[in-house]
Amino acid sequence: MVQPQSAADARAAAQSRVRWELLAELVRKDLKVKYKNSALGFVWSLANPLLYLAVFSLVFGFFLKNNVPWFAVMFMSGFLIWSFFNSATLDATGAVVGNANLVRKVRFPRVVLPLASVGFAGVHLALQLLVFFLFLVPAYPDAFGPQLWLLLPALAVTVVFTVAMSLLASALNVRYRDVQHLLEIALLAWFWLTPIVYPVTFVRDQLAEAGLLWMFKFFMANPMTAVVVAAQRAVYVHPVVTDAEGKLVQVLPAGGYGFYLQWLGVAAAVSAVLLVVGRWTFRRLQADFAEEL
């Protein structure tokens, strides 16, 4: 027998529907504003990753010779994930402050403002991944193997971690405006501490030579390291490759998917805790947003 829906449940469902509709409308508005009167439109969103790809391929593939065949594939596998996290977090941090007039004059769920930034970056990530996979079809067809499933949990953890960071940073930035400037600097250091332009095995080997292999666990505890390395393994199918001199080079941890799943689990746990903290902080501070702005 189907129980009739209570009035409270119906009201909660209606509020949830309104939030989702408002969120979708904000994402559509941001996309229209960004590319309004632009001749190339979305193509501009590819300019940034393509520029990074060209520069880092030149520096690490030609000048510094990192001996990683198909370096562009491994680089883009991690960089697109990072680019989503970086742009979504930075945009979300200023989302509430940037809509001060709206926040002061109109009653609506404030949480949609940072979430819209995440959704906006998510649309770009989806389109960039589409272009990337179209490139892989003729250039690196080995990517379309059974290991590709690893990309799904990596993306899921990335989204949760990004939402958590966005909620926390956007709420704190209303009260403490230094948060946005501090985060910009922190993200620059965070990028270089995440194995995007160098193999994660390079860090492991260097720590082992210095007798500090135990520090590798702290390095991997960075949630962005776990998701970037998992995304690289999902696309870059050969963890051990042969360099130009015929030597075997391990660019990613080999021996199955256990390593990647283990650290994705750690990243998921960290993301879940941060999400709880971010939601609690946002709910606690949002009542003062209009006054603070």
**How far, in Å, CA of 230 to CA of 81, rounded?**
10
The rounded Cα 181 to chain-centroid distance in angstroms is 19
DSSP secondary structure string for all residues of 174-195? HH-THHHHHHHHHHHHHHHTST
**How far, in Å, CA of 203 to CA of 213, rounded?**
9
Q: What is the pLDDT of residue 246?
A: 74
Stretch among 70-79, 208-217, 236-245, 253-262 having the lowest mean pLDDT: 236-245
Q: Where are the alpha helices (DSSP H) in 94-238?
A: 95-98, 100-105, 112-139, 151-175, 178-192, 200-209, 216-220, 223-235
Q: Are 243 and 65 in contact (CB under 8 A)?
A: no
**How far, in Å, CA of 195 to CA of 183, rounded?**
19
**Phi, psi angle pair for 249, to nearest 5°:** -125, 125
User: Is pLDDT at 1 greater than 70 in this prediction?
Assistant: no
pLDDT in tens, 21-78: 777 877 877 777 776 666 666 677 777 777 777 777 777 767 767 777 888 888 889 9
DSSP letter at 241? Answer: E
Q: Are 293 and 113 in contact (CB under 8 A)?
A: no
CA distance to 71, 187, 192, 242, per residue, from 249 (Å): 13, 30, 22, 6
Other beta carbons within 10 angstroms of residue 265's beta carbon come to: 13
What band does 158 get if pLDDT is binned at 50, 70 and 90? Answer: very high
Whole-number percent of the chain with pLDDT over 90: 45
**How far, in Å, CA of 198 to CA of 186, rounded?**
19
The SS3 call for residue 129 is: helix
pTM of the model: 0.86
- Contacts of residue 233, defined as CB under 8 A and 6 or more positions apart, other chains included, come to 147, 150, 239, 252, 253, 257, 260
User: Is pLDDT at 4 greater than 60 in this prediction?
Assistant: no
Dihedral, 192, 193, 198, 199 alpha carbons, nearest 10: -160
Q: What is the pLDDT of residue 237?
A: 84
| Higher pLDDT among residues 168 and 132, named by residue | 168
**How far, in Å, CA of 249 to CA of 69, rounded?**
10
**How far, in Å, CA of 23 to CA of 116, rounded?**
6
Q: Are 160 and 227 in contact (CB under 8 A)?
A: no
**How far, in Å, CA of 70 to CA of 60, rounded?**
12
Q: Residue 51 is encoded by which pair of tokens?
A: 């520029």
- β-strands 248-250, 240-242 pairing: antiparallel
DSSP letter at 293? Answer: -
**How far, in Å, CA of 8 to CA of 12, rounded?**
6
Q: What is the pLDDT of residue 238?
A: 82
**How far, in Å, CA of 197 to CA of 75, rounded?**
6
Share the mean pLDDT of the chain: 86
Whole-number percent of the chain with pLDDT over 70: 94
pLDDT in tens, 170-192: 999 998 889 999 999 999 999 99
Torsional sign, CA 227, 231, 234, 238: negative
